[in-house]
Amino acid sequence: MARSHRATPARTARRQRPDTRARTVRETSAGGLVVAGLDGAGESGLRAALIGRTDRRGRILWSLPKGHIEVGETAEQTAIREIAEETGLTGSVLAPIGKIDYWFAAEGRRVHKTVHHFLLSWEGGDLSAEDYEVAEVAWVPLADLPSRLTYSDERKLIAAAKTVISDLVGDPDAVRARVAAAARTEPSDYEKAAAERNRLRNDPPVPTPRRRRGGRRGRG
């Protein structure tokens, strides 16, 4: 049975194409599937961490943890940090498992969001829902993810991840080799540009001084 921890509910944006008259902004995030039990006896004992956000109707929408790429980070480092912040768990990146693009409306803008997802092995930590945007966190058996995840695009990612997971189950040497190969610390030009867009998206707008009409006035 999956264990879950509940926190204060938070609103979440709906995945939909918003009003095209609103201003478009771009966001780039990273996150992923953190799996426990890869060094265990078999696939039946595997479980993954999900987060639940509360929508406007009070329903829990289950998804993979993720968040904005920040300045100086690679996408892999973002995935590790965001998973720790949203679930309380620490993990190591094993492999990329796919990219998702979607639209939603927020603060009078239409947002085009790209999320890079990775497969991670659980290294430590305990489940907690201390992030203010997360209502619940839960360990879910890997076999139950397709029925638990709210979004179809994330369910497709799970199908892609299972191929990699099958190759790693019960093989600690293969897991360690994957971790070593994924240790990238210098962000690419793409990640640097994405982090700057995210920074500008989150920073409050700076008022632009209004130019006075007419010619220069002399002192009275």
Which domains can be identified in the chain, with CATH numbers? 4-202 (3.90.79.10)
Question: What's the pTM?
Answer: 0.81
Which amino acid does the sequence have at 145?
A: L
Distance CA 150, CA 155 (A): 8
* pLDDT score, position 70: 96
Burial classification of residue 182, based on how many CB atoms lie within 10 Å of its CB (0-12 exposed, 13-18 middle, 19 or more buried): middle
**Average pLDDT of the chain, as a whole number:** 84
Q: Looking at the predicted structure, is the pLDDT value of residue 111 above 50?
A: yes
* pLDDT score, position 197: 92
Regarding predicted confidence, which is higher, 41 or 181? 181
% of the chain surpassing 90 pLDDT: 62
Q: Which band of pLDDT confidence, cut at 50, 70 and 90, is reported for residue 205?
A: low
3-state SS assignment for residue 202: helix
42-76 pLDDT, tens digit per residue, is 778 899 999 999 998 999 999 999 999 999 999 99
Indicate the range of 143-147, 161-165, 210-214 predicted with least confidence.
210-214
Of 197, 155, 158, nearest to 69 by C-alpha is 197
Which amino acid does the sequence have at 128?
A: S
**What is the secondary structure of 82-114 as a DSSP string?**
HHHHHHSEEEEEEEEEEEEEEEEEETTEEEEEE
Distance CA 120, CA 174 (A): 13
DSSP state of 27: E
Residue appearing with tokens 């879910």: 140
Q: Looking at the predicted structure, is the pLDDT value of residue 2 above 90?
A: no
Q: Looking at the predicted structure, is the pLDDT value of residue 178 above 50?
A: yes
Distance CA 159, CA 72 (A): 31
Regarding predicted confidence, which is higher, 14 or 182? 182
* pLDDT score, position 12: 39
Contacts of 178 (CB under 8 A, 6+ apart): 93, 94, 95, 168
Q: With both helix axes pointing from N to C terminus, report the angle between 172-181 and 152-168 in degrees, rounded to the nearest 10.
A: 120
Cβ atoms within 10 A of the Cβ of 107, count? 10
> If you average pLDDT over residues 123-127, what whole number do you get?
94
* pLDDT score, position 89: 96
Q: Looking at the predicted structure, is the pLDDT value of residue 40 above 80?
A: no
Asked if 144 and 50 count as a contact pair (C-beta separation under 8 A), the reply is no
Of 159, 129, 132, 157, nearest to 143 by C-alpha is 159
